[in-house]
Structure 1
């Protein structure tokens, strides 16, 4: 995150009340990164904002600076939906969210979904309206749209000139100072200051300091959302927005606190934002930088962190499996194994300032700090005192659902690849690693194509392990679809003891999921008792290897009905081999079929996208089992079963058919017959 070390020290708040943690969110092209740069430049002497929007940003950018009587930790997040994990991390780091809405483009559905996420946890929100210099921009219509979609969005100021064709923002009118009646009434009402509201309605004059105090309370309720017009390049709205951050947004003391447990699962006890309390902190992001090494962006909820402190590091994602979207209940997999480590030593502390790192002597409860040299800490891990280990419930984690298989370009890099992949996993909880023993592929599960590009680029440029990608192979199964008989006969003589075994088998298909059964019906001792187990071992080994295409065979009953043995030349291995020969003799295109995995899929889309989503499912051989209203208004959940083969690009395609707002979860359901033509395509060359 930070590449160079600044020459100065970071501003040091003396109490949590002096801290403001704010995350900037918004869609690509809304101007949020430009706004971030100008907000920082307005308060940091000598800093010049970048001249253009960082539209390709893939990670968090943070800056710590003093503003008036507070210290602001400002976090900018990427707009690309592939990096929703970074947005979620930014939300966890902050106590309030600043939504950046383009006055020319309005509110898209992805922004509306993110707003709902913030509402679900009661996070205070404010709105900055940008791009008002564009001809089609309309500030009043943007505010009206926000009110329809978000609730009680209120403009604290308006452009001097309306944002119509050919006009530009040139200044602001402070509506608070002008005592706009509707606005004042809304602020006082949402601040829940009933006595003041009653006096105000009776005509009593309200002083500006009281209004600002009630604005702070109103925003803190998570039901009142102040909005400001901005034009970052002209500096319009920047000072007013910083004033809103200082006086209108909550401090960590007023913020929502995550649940904290003991590492053994018991209750930890009450945790408050107290610098003198027990240390409870969380790693919200991990990076490995070639210049400054490993860094952890840490949010401190309680206590004080100092350089060289010994801390307990705990991570138990599997304990909170329900908190991972799309999870089948195994959030500890894919490299994010549960762990507890004592005495990890804290390195230097710093405050981020874009690409710089400012020295920091300590970090108190409520602060956001960069920590170096945390050797074992991963993103979402909890830092606490070794004398009182804690475990913070992690934030809502999106499940990576887009797979890609990778391998090192050079054979000599294969061992190194395994090691560096673990480093990537420790940094990014939206990446999952699957070492598929069946297909012999290393599979990365990511959030989308841009995320995959980021990961493969990191492997080459940061870790110097170039990789190539390939199509993910799906683990199929084979099964018998018709009853049959077959004989396996092994007769070899080459001097000395030979090999002799004959076994006759009958084969019957079983229902899906019934497994493999072996039955002994030999009579008269035609196969000696000591070799019955050898036949079963050979049967099971051959079924595991596959029959026609090399995939494991399932759901079959194999019965040994007869055979022959030789007093000298028969052996355990001979009967194992004969059993395998019998199965291969029985297998052909009329007796054996391919099975494919079927996933149960729940798809959550906006109501207007239901038709296009259902049409797309039909093209994927999906079976729709029903629909129901989503827990969110205006959305529908589609329940379906879809072949796993058809889901390899579904995160990309669903984004297209749902205009970027569809989400889905998948869990394995069962195996079912693969159409013969599709089977030929998939098994060709095996």
Structure 2
């Protein structure tokens, strides 16, 4: 099928776990004629859940991509994971699409994940569609669900079709207004959505008021509808049963006729090397700009970089650059994806989602371009949740240290919320993720893919150090060993910065008392101390260091002398500036049965948590929002499971750092055995 950018629709299927996204993905591929038989999650035969862990658990862990030709459109679909534990790849997918289709389980209604995904899609300025699935479930009150959706997400949420005959069919209420439904007048629904669409576009409004809706042509309606979606003035509600196929073709028709193409959606902000926003046009004749939003290390194909083309046309055998690398790579093979299947294509136009293989330098969030002189361009970063759960790893079998390092490195390439840290002072490798389940899955993948097994233990909490006051420090480094000596003297002052500001180094030296060539050495010494800590062995942050005086020797002064003098002068100052230890405070959201609220809130209070509020969900579930020190939550997964009989779910996200209580700081300081160089 030959198509242009105007024919492309990019849609991410997202929502709470169990809403039926993967089944809907299958149904859309089947309805579009891409597959002959619709696969099943229960049988492990779907196009998207191809990983053995996904098949075993019966839910998606990663994103999957496929394309569906329908009508005049070429529709790229991305199936995403519903569990918050695997939110990284889901949010990455949002950087590649114009539309998020948030799938809602008709029986469960608005769930915990529904709200979070709607917020993230809105934050990314995506067009949003609410897809109510499983409408053939017995005993549903779909009218009440529509009211709840409108109350939760705004009156701009309006049905564009309505179920009839107990979910055995759906009736369109945008282009047609005749027929009977289970819970509403089709004509009334038609009029409400038409009024919502025409009021945002003056031209369409004028035609509508002058001549009525019969004078509105389809292109005018598309333009107004697309503008409503782009500006958040309309969130269509569609009804489907992915299992039986009811409403699936109607959803594809909605995508074909009314959803924004890549030239119409809200473009994401691209930034140049100076972090200034630049314009990227969906023009196939311009030079190439594409963003890599997913990496897959395929054991058969090799490293696969999956990207969205934003500008220009990528052709097979063309040459592309990665970021500001001046050495290009050749696009030897260009692929379109359908789950694990790779179909070779000749070109990818703006809006396309495609992949290249066996390019080792490619990485997540890389910008691909075809201009050697292109400034460093990057897509404004996605706001990912901070991975707060950690495990320290060591290979179970000796001699596998290098293999372990390579394996976790490849896993980190694939998931932006899976991080690897190496602590030299402890000789410790730590992996961090969004939950204990997230880390468990990643370690199972490492075992299955790379044959590396590990022993684990809790890592040190990511405390930080800072100062609460101003102080001055001084150190003279002088060493004479018979030959050329070492000499450097530094005077500096320290002062606290706002929390999260990082580190500033200021050169206030006058009169050349310290030659400029030695200032980088002083800063290097200070940074060494920042990394090693001063009172409890944790990195120091939010400090300004100003070097204002010192001395040098024309023969004996060397870089190494000023590194040592800078480091020890800084430590001298920090010791006088009321140093404090900071602990990570996390936002905690716990979704539990209503009957467990007392036990859970009491348990959180015993962990120095502050309860910030509660929300009631449908089905008697309560979401508790709190802030708590991360150090108090080490065993929380086990405790929550015991309190709720396995029915509780929770998520953590870094909020801020704040000082630990004095007894905790004393304990941490006493436990630290500092190793300070004697030189």
Q: TM-score, normalised by structure 2?
A: 0.69
Shift in Å, 1:454: 2.3
Of the three residues 8, 30, 36, the one matched with 1:19 is 8
Q: Which residue of 2 aligns with 1:174?
A: 172
Q: Which residue of 2 aligns with 1:189?
A: 196
Shift in Å, 1:27: 1.2
For 1:340 and 1:449, the matched residues in 2 are separated by 37
Report the secondary structure of 1:253's partner residue: coil
Of the three residues 342, 345, 363, the one matched with 1:378 is 363
Q: Does residue 148 of the first structure (1) align with residue 151 of the second (2)? A: yes
Q: Which residue of 2 aligns with 1:424?
A: 411
For 2:216 and 2:14, the matched residues in 1 are separated by 30
Of the three residues 264, 268, 277, the one matched with 2:286 is 277
Shift in Å, 1:611: 8.9
Q: Does residue 299 of the first structure (1) align with residue 308 of the second (2)? A: yes
CA contact (8 A) 1:596 1:674 kept: no
Q: Which residue of 2 aligns with 1:349?
A: 334
Q: Which has the larger radius of gyration?
A: 1
Q: Does residue 222 of the first structure (1) align with residue 232 of the second (2)? A: yes
Q: Which residue of 2 aligns with 1:160?
A: 164
For 1:42 and 1:477, the matched residues in 2 are separated by 54
For 1:276 and 1:676, the matched residues in 2 are separated by 61
Shift in Å, 1:425: 2.2
Shift in Å, 1:208: 7.5
Q: Which residue of 2 aligns with 1:398?
A: 385
Q: How many residues align?
A: 537
Of the three residues 40, 44, 49, the one matched with 1:51 is 40
Shift in Å, 1:202: 6.4
Q: Which residue of 2 aligns with 1:238?
A: 248
Of the three residues 6, 25, 32, the one matched with 2:21 is 32
Of the three residues 259, 263, 267, the one matched with 1:253 is 263
Shift in Å, 1:285: 0.5
Q: Which residue of 2 aligns with 1:289?
A: 298
Shift in Å, 1:654: 9.0
For 1:28 and 1:19, the matched residues in 2 are separated by 28
Q: Which residue of 1 aligns with 2:134?
A: 131
CA contact (8 A) 2:133 2:240 kept: yes
Report the secondary structure of 1:254's partner residue: coil
CA contact (8 A) 2:10 2:77 kept: yes
Q: Does residue 99 of the first structure (1) align with residue 102 of the second (2)? A: yes
For 1:477 and 1:383, the matched residues in 2 are separated by 37
CA separation of 1:239 and 1:413: change in aligned 2, threshold 3 A: same
Shift in Å, 1:216: 3.9
Provide the alpha-carbon RMSD of the alignment. 4.3
Q: Does residue 619 of the first structure (1) align with residue 606 of the second (2)? A: yes
CA separation of 1:458 and 1:365: change in aligned 2, threshold 3 A: same
Shift in Å, 1:42: 1.3
Shift in Å, 1:138: 2.2
Report the secondary structure of 1:271's partner residue: coil
Shift in Å, 1:90: 1.6
CA contact (8 A) 1:188 1:196 kept: no
For 1:661 and 1:248, the matched residues in 2 are separated by 37
For residues 464-479 of structure 1, what are the structure 2 equivalents within 5 Å? 464-474=451-461
CA separation of 1:266 and 1:513: change in aligned 2, threshold 3 A: closer
CA separation of 1:653 and 1:124: change in aligned 2, threshold 3 A: farther
CA contact (8 A) 1:403 1:648 kept: no
CA separation of 1:388 and 1:554: change in aligned 2, threshold 3 A: closer
CA contact (8 A) 1:312 1:343 kept: yes
Report the secondary structure of 1:462's partner residue: helix
For 1:20 and 1:76, the matched residues in 2 are separated by 14
Q: Which residue of 2 aligns with 1:206?
A: 214
Q: Does residue 664 of the first structure (1) align with residue 653 of the second (2)? A: yes
Shift in Å, 1:153: 1.6
CA separation of 1:653 and 1:221: change in aligned 2, threshold 3 A: farther
For 1:137 and 1:475, the matched residues in 2 are separated by 48
Shift in Å, 1:647: 3.9
Report the secondary structure of 1:312's partner residue: strand
Q: TM-score, normalised by structure 1?
A: 0.69
Shift in Å, 1:280: 1.3
CA separation of 1:346 and 1:359: change in aligned 2, threshold 3 A: same
CA separation of 1:446 and 1:47: change in aligned 2, threshold 3 A: same
Report the secondary structure of 1:429's partner residue: coil
Q: Does residue 308 of the first structure (1) align with residue 317 of the second (2)? A: yes
Deviations 1:555-588 (A, max 9, x none): 9xxxxxxxxxxxxxxxxxxxxxxxxxxxxxxxxx
Shift in Å, 1:79: 0.7
Deviations 1:458-479 (A, max 9, x none): 222222222222222458999x
Report the secondary structure of 1:411's partner residue: coil
Q: Which residue of 2 aligns with 1:7?
A: none
CA separation of 1:304 and 1:616: change in aligned 2, threshold 3 A: farther
For 2:191 and 2:654, the matched residues in 1 are separated by 44
For 1:475 and 1:261, the matched residues in 2 are separated by 31
Deviations 1:354-390 (A, max 9, x none): 2211111111111111221221121112112333142
Deviations 1:177-208 (A, max 9, x none): 12624533533433423354355456735258
For 2:396 and 2:176, the matched residues in 1 are separated by 65
For residues 425-574 of structure 1, what are the structure 2 equivalents within 5 Å? 425-474=412-461
Gaps of 5+ in 2: 43-48, 50-57, 179-186, 477-528, 530-534, 541-578, 616-621, 673-679
Deviations 1:614-672 (A, max 9, x none): 644432245x5x96999xxx9998666x3x53243568989999975765325554565
CA separation of 1:627 and 1:148: change in aligned 2, threshold 3 A: closer
For 2:130 and 2:391, the matched residues in 1 are separated by 38
CA contact (8 A) 2:208 2:215 kept: no
For 2:64 and 2:538, the matched residues in 1 are separated by 51
For 2:269 and 2:330, the matched residues in 1 are separated by 25
Gaps of 5+ in 1: 1-10, 162-167, 315-338, 479-510, 521-543, 545-549, 556-594
For 1:83 and 1:204, the matched residues in 2 are separated by 48
CA contact (8 A) 1:280 1:302 kept: yes
Of the three residues 603, 612, 629, the one matched with 2:587 is 603
Of the three residues 361, 382, 396, the one matched with 2:346 is 361
For 2:116 and 2:539, the matched residues in 1 are separated by 43
For 1:646 and 1:619, the matched residues in 2 are separated by 9
For 2:17 and 2:648, the matched residues in 1 are separated by 14
For 1:654 and 1:381, the matched residues in 2 are separated by 39
Shift in Å, 1:602: 5.3
CA contact (8 A) 2:17 2:113 kept: no
Deviations 1:264-311 (A, max 9, x none): 326474211111122211110001011111111101111111233332
For 1:275 and 1:469, the matched residues in 2 are separated by 50
